[in-house]
Every structure is written in structure tokens, then in C-alpha cells.
């Protein structure tokens, strides 16, 4: 019997300390007692040798079918035996995408690890089934619990189909996309829909932990879709399907492939994802918000753009650097900033390296601070 697995809280796979969403979101892994075993570097190999041309943005009669044909051969079914005290209790079923000819498979961490530590689960096998019927035993090589992204590796003596990686930054609300995977162990299932939102924040969903952004779509996704690709009409991977809202239809979420590519680069460089931490709460400003804040408080800093700091965590690097609630960050490490994403990109993975930050304060006071990020606690 298959059932949806709800995302775990606190010490579970994805750190979600806010309990407000519990019972409303589900990861797409399916589990059953007798389920069948089934830097922005871009992979230049298509998943299919189809001669059909790309869409160029036009939706025709065969557009979705052609996109599915391109990605299909590279989408795999993942089956992981589950056990307790040495007794097999069932299997976790999910999806994945072969992204490199060397056998690297992109998937979700909760698919291949359950809701346990990678150190406990990586010793087990991952049964991988391709669309052409070939089966392999894979190994979990990397997993990031906060982003819920993992890599599995298989070895093959014959060539493997691979997916082409696209750019999620090119997506717009209303763009057509398809979700491919193995919902309820039904391999090679394709559903279509549109992008509903390109930057749905984790805080919008009541999710705690590190700030994250998701692609929101109305593609039909179910248990077993986790780890499968979200694909544009050119057959390129633009996201990794990760979760849906239990109490509503047409509310699915994917990790943008641009973010995934950075995570994979972290894996290659450090074997893990390094997340610098400042200890700042930040809010992006625009002209309308600034005008409203000035109406409420005439002493609000005289700025046209920037990032407001409503709170500073005591004892944090930002606190030690002299940040104060009400500061507006206008420059970071010598560069003007308008969004939180820009600050994250500037910091990248640089920890224990001092950076200069310019903030505006009331009474037209401009202050330059020196802050040194530290690596975030994985359990934050």
C-alpha cells in the first residue's frame, strides 16, 4: 500500500523548525511493503536523439510530446529498501535524472536517505531502473539535507542517456513546463502545467531554516515524483520536483536548477554545501515600501533602494560587526545591492573572510561596517 510521506520536522531530513506547515506539505516519496523495484556547468548531451527541433517558445501539437521524448530516457526510477532492526519493512520509491555520462543521477535527499542521516543510509543500496529496462545498483555520493538535493552514482559499461540542463532564471510565470517521474511507482509518467511563481520563498510556505526559493507549478505531482525533473518545452531540466500541498490541487514546488547547479558545484569543490551566516534578518525594499515607511517614521533613512535590517541576532557576526535594527544595507563588499539574492551571491561560500558593508541610518548617517561570515550550523 502506498502513502505520501510528510516532511519531517526538527532533526528530520529537511530542517523545518516552524511547525505551522506540518500536515499540509508532503514530499513526493512513496513507500510500500511490496512496491516494485524499479559554476553553471551544463550537460551538453540530449536525453534523446530525437531530430525534432526545439520549440523557440511556441506551443504546437507535438511540443509537449517532443519535450517528453527528449528528457524521458534520462529519467530513472529509484527504489530504496527500508528496514528497522534489520527487518525489511518496505521500499522508498522516487525519481531521478541522469545528468552526466559518468552515471551521476540528480534526485532528492529524502528519496535516497529516507529521513535519516547520510552517514546511516549511504551504506545501503539504491536500485535504479532506466526507461529502457536496464537496472543498476547505485550509491549515494552526496546529499544536502537543507536543500533536499542528492547525487547518486551508477556504473555502466554501455552509454547512458543524459539530460540537458537549462536555466531556471529564464522562466516566467505562465511558461509551460512538464513534470516527469514515477508517481505511485508508475514509471515514465508525464504531466504538464504552467509555472505559477518563479521565486516562491520558503517563508511563504511556513518553512524555517535557511532562506530558500522554489518554482511553483500546477503540474500534477504525486507520491513518487520526488527527485524527478521539471522540464521546459525544449526538454531541458529547469527544476527538481520536491513537494506539494496536501490540502490543494495544483500546488507543487521544485528546486530551481540554477540553485541545484550551485549545490552540485559545492559537492565537487568541498563535498558538502557551505553556507555562510551573518545573523541578519533582511527585507528587500522598493520605492513603494520606502514611501510607506517614511510616512510612518520621518526619521527613516533617506534611501531609494536597499535591504532593510529589521533584526540582528545577538552574538552573531552581524551583531559583533555593529549592525543595528533599522539599518539599510546599500553596498556589500564594494558592490551596490538591492536584493537579498545579490548579497547571497556576493558572499557565496566565503567564510571567515572579512567584508565591508555600507549601511544608511536615520539622520542621513552613513556607516561602513566590517563583517566576517561564519559557516552556518547545519541544524539551524
Choosing from 30, 122, 147, 226, which is the catalytic residue? Answer: 226
* Whole-number percent of the chain with pLDDT over 90: 57
24 catalytic residue (yes or no): no
What is residue 238's predicted lDDT score, i.e. its pLDDT? 97
* Spatial contact of 2 and 98, defined as CB atoms under 8 Å apart: no
Choosing from 110, 122, 144, 147, which is the catalytic residue? Answer: 110
- Residue 137 pLDDT > 80, yes or no? yes
Q: Where are the alpha helices (DSSP H) in 76-126?
A: 109-113, 118-121
Q: Which CATH number fits domain 276-375: 2.30.42.10, 2.60.40.4070, 3.20.190.10, 3.30.590.10?
A: 2.30.42.10
What is residue 113's predicted lDDT score, i.e. its pLDDT? 81
Give Cα 111 to chain centroid, integer Å. 14
The domain limits of the chain are 70-154, 168-270, 276-375
Residue 50 parent element (H or E): none
144 catalytic residue (yes or no): no
What is residue 103's predicted lDDT score, i.e. its pLDDT? 96
What is residue 311's predicted lDDT score, i.e. its pLDDT? 94
pLDDT band at 86 (very low <50, low <70, confident <90, very high): low
pLDDT band at 255 (very low <50, low <70, confident <90, very high): very high
As its CATH architecture, domain 168-270 has Beta Barrel (2.40)
* Spatial contact of 242 and 54, defined as CB atoms under 8 Å apart: no
Q: Where are the alpha helices (DSSP H) in the chain?
A: 63-71, 109-113, 118-121, 257-270, 287-296, 317-321, 340-347
Domain 70-154 has CATH 2.40.10.10: yes
Q: For 291-330, how does the pLDDT look when each residue is reduced to its tens digit (9 = 90+)?
A: 999 999 989 998 999 999 999 999 999 999 999 999 999 9
122 catalytic residue (yes or no): no
Q: 44-48, 116-120, 182-186, 252-256 — which is least confidently predicted?
A: 44-48
Q: For 196-205, how does the pLDDT look when each residue is reduced to its tens digit (9 = 90+)?
A: 999 888 777 7
168-270 and 276-375, same CATH topology: no
The dihedral built from the CA positions of residue 11, 16, 22 and 24, taken in this order, carries a sign that is negative
pLDDT band at 378 (very low <50, low <70, confident <90, very high): low
- Residue 81 pLDDT > 80, yes or no? no
Choosing from 100, 148, 234, 327, which is the catalytic residue? Answer: 148
Amino acid at each position: 500500500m502506498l502513502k505520501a510521506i510528510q516532511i519531517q520536522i526538527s532533526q528530520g531530513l529537511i530542517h523545518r523548525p516552524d511547525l505551522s506547515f506540518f500536515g499540509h506539505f508532503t514530499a513526493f516519496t512513496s513507500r510500500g511493503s511490496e512496491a516494485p523495484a524499479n559554476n553553471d556547468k551544463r550537460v551538453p548531451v540530449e536525453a534523446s536523439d530525437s531530430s525534432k527541433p526545439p520549440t523557440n517558445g511556441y506551443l504546437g501539437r507535438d511540443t509537449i510530446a517532443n519535450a517528453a521524448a527528449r528528457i524521458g530516457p534520462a529519467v530513472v526510477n529509484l527504489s530504496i529498501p527500508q528496514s528497522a532492526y534489520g527487518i525489511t519493512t518496505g521500499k522508498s520509491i522516487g525519481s531521478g535524472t541522469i545528468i552526466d555520462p559518468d552515471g551521476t543521477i540528480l534526485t532528492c535527499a529524502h528519496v535516497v536517505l529516507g529521513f535519516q542521516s547520510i552517514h546511516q543510509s549511504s551504506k545501503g543500496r539504491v536500485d535504479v531502473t532506466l526507461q529502457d529496462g536496464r537496472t543498476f545498483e547505485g550509491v549515494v555520493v552526496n546529499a544536502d539535507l537543507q536543500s533536499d538535493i542528492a547525487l547518486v552514482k551508477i556504473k555502466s559499461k554501455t552509454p547512458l542517456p543524459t539530460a540537458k540542463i537549462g536555466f531556471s532564471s529564464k522562466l516566467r510565470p505562465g511558461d509551460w513546463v512538464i513534470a516527469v517521474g514515477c508517481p505511485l511507482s508508475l514509471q515514465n509518467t508525464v504531466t504538464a502545467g504552467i509555472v505559477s511563481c518563479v521565486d516562491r520563498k520558503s517563508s511563504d510556505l511556513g518553512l524555517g531554516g535557511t532562506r530558500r526559493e522554489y518554482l511553483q507549478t500546477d503540474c500534477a505531482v504525486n507520491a513518487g515524483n520526488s527527485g524527478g525533473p521539471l522540464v521546459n518545452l525544449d526538454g531541458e531540466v529547469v527544476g527538481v520536483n520536491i513537494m506539494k500541498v496536501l490540502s490543494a490541487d495544483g500546488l507543487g514546488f521544485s528546486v530551481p536548477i540554477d540553485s541545484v547547479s550551485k549545490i552540485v558545484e559545492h559537492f565537487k569543490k568541498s563535498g558538502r554545501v557551505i553556507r555562510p551566516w551573518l545573523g541578519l534578518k533582511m527585507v528587500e525594499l522598493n520605492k513603494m515600501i520606502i514611501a510607506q515607511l517614511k510616512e510612518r517614521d520621518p526619521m527613516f533613512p533617506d534611501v531609494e533602494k536597499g535591504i532593510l535590517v529589521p533584526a540582528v541576532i545577538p552574538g552573531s557576526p552581524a551583531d559583533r560587526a555593529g549592525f543595528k535594527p533599522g539599518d539599510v544595507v546599500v553596498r556589500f563588499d564594494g558592490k551596490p545591492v538591492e536584493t537579498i539574492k545579490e548579497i547571497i551571491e556576493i558572499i557565496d561560500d566565503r567564510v571567515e573572510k572579512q567584508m565591508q558593508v555600507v549601511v544608511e541610518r536615520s539622520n542621513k548617517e552613513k556607516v561602513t561596517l566590517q563583517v566576517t561570515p561564519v559557516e552556518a550550523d547545519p541544524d539551524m
